[in-house]
Structure 1
């Protein structure tokens, strides 16, 4: 049976974006025609977590309603470099625990992290949605693989906008950053676009 995961931010005993996580779990059960829902709030309360600091609550569950939990101390680390990897067939519409294909792409790239390109459109990294900066504004690709909870939250609060981001216009952006349930919009964690090792050259540079 397929296994799914939810990675939820817990900081100083406060849990974040719980409604969005619960909505995704409910939609997963509904899509597969199951009604064995799990209640994330009840699961968190049952843990009686009383430690301060930043943690990732990882809940692994199946469609029978069985689950297991891990409370993992979390710290964001800087990524040395990125590489664009083309994969036109990969599908990650649900947050599956099985990440073998993602890990395979990452190993073959020989980069610290990958940015997956699908039909010439920018999608996500191996574990995060992406934001790209143009001027003062941050944009997220319309062509995501997984519509993450942080991505939805930032769009709803109008802190970011959607855009069609492709190999052709990627160089129009100056910086990018990774967002997920653990990582919010934060200028301190942005990367210059040149951190992408195989960044396409601007059109005027390639014309002879």
Structure 2
């Protein structure tokens, strides 16, 4: 079994979305590892010295295995290629990214891939997505990974869930990519930059 991970943003000495990371980690421990007790990531992370955006990577199985910190550098993304993979499964965030890396390699001249599973849009290789329909931001109902940023945006009513098929892309004008490290709105571009 590969270790599971949480990738957490630290900035200005503060852990972002801590409650969402704790929830996902403890759900994974309960559902996959049958661990009843909960862990609190705040007991393992030391955010005080980090002012710039920092990537905190926590590996765990039954318990916390390792906590690493690294400066974060945003990788620009302004184009996507649709790739189909009906058996794509990344329900639990782990160190095993082999399938995602293979799909990313199919991007050709685009910056990343947008993965289609069973006829529905899901995620890019590293981000959840939301599309602008002229009135609201819509995120795919069945992502590969239920991201912590996505969960917080849904809870705050900033995005809504819907099934989105590749043929539906014409209904949308813009796409945003986001994750625990990337703010909602930090990467945004026209859906015209999504190649079929």
Q: Which moved more, 1:47-56 or 1:7-16?
A: 47-56
Partner in structure 2 of residue 149 of structure 1: 148
Q: How far off its partner does 1:194 sit?
A: 1.1
Summarize deviations over 1:56-95 as a string: whole Å, max 9, x none. 11111123x1411111111323214210000001111100
Offset of residue 146 of structure 1: 1.1
C-alpha distance 38-67 of structure 1, shift in aligned 2 (>3 A): farther
Q: What is the match of residue 124 of structure 2? A: 125
- Go from structure 1 to structure 2 and tell me whether the alpha carbon gap of 1:41 and 1:66 turns closer, same or farther (over 3 Å shift): closer
How far apart are 1:102 and its partner, in Å? 0.6
**2:26 aligned residue:** 26
**5+ residue gaps, structure 2:** none
Q: Secondary structure at the match of 2:166?
A: coil
- Asked if the contact 2:78/2:188 (under 8 Å) is kept, the reply is no
Q: How many residues align?
A: 194
How do 1:192-203 and structure 2 match up within 5 A?
Answer: 192-198=190-196
Shift of 1:182: 1.3
Cα shift at 1:30: 0.5
Q: Distance in 1 between matches of 2:74 and 2:47?
A: 25
CA distance in 2, matches of 1:81, 1:118: 19
Aligned to 1:202: none
Q: Partners of 2:31 and 2:150 in 1: how far apart?
A: 21
CA RMSD of aligned residues (A): 1.6
Which portions of structure 1, spanning 4 or more consecutive aligned residues, are displaced by more than 3 angstroms?
A: 35-38
> Residues 146-185 of structure 1 correspond to what in structure 2 (within 5 A)?
146-185=145-184
Are 2:14 and 2:48, in contact at CA under 8 Å, matched by a contact in 1? no
Partner Cα distance (2:107, 2:50) in 1: 38
> Any idea what the Cα deviations from partners look like across 1:144-190, whole Å, max 9, x if unmatched?
1111111110111011111221012111100101111112322x531
| Rg comparison, structure with higher value | 1
Q: TM-score, normalised by structure 2?
A: 0.92
1:125-153 CA-to-partner distances (Å, cap 9, x unmatched) read: 11111000111411101121111111110
- Alpha-carbon distance in 1 for matches of 2:40, 2:146: 21
1:34 Cα deviation after fit: 2.2
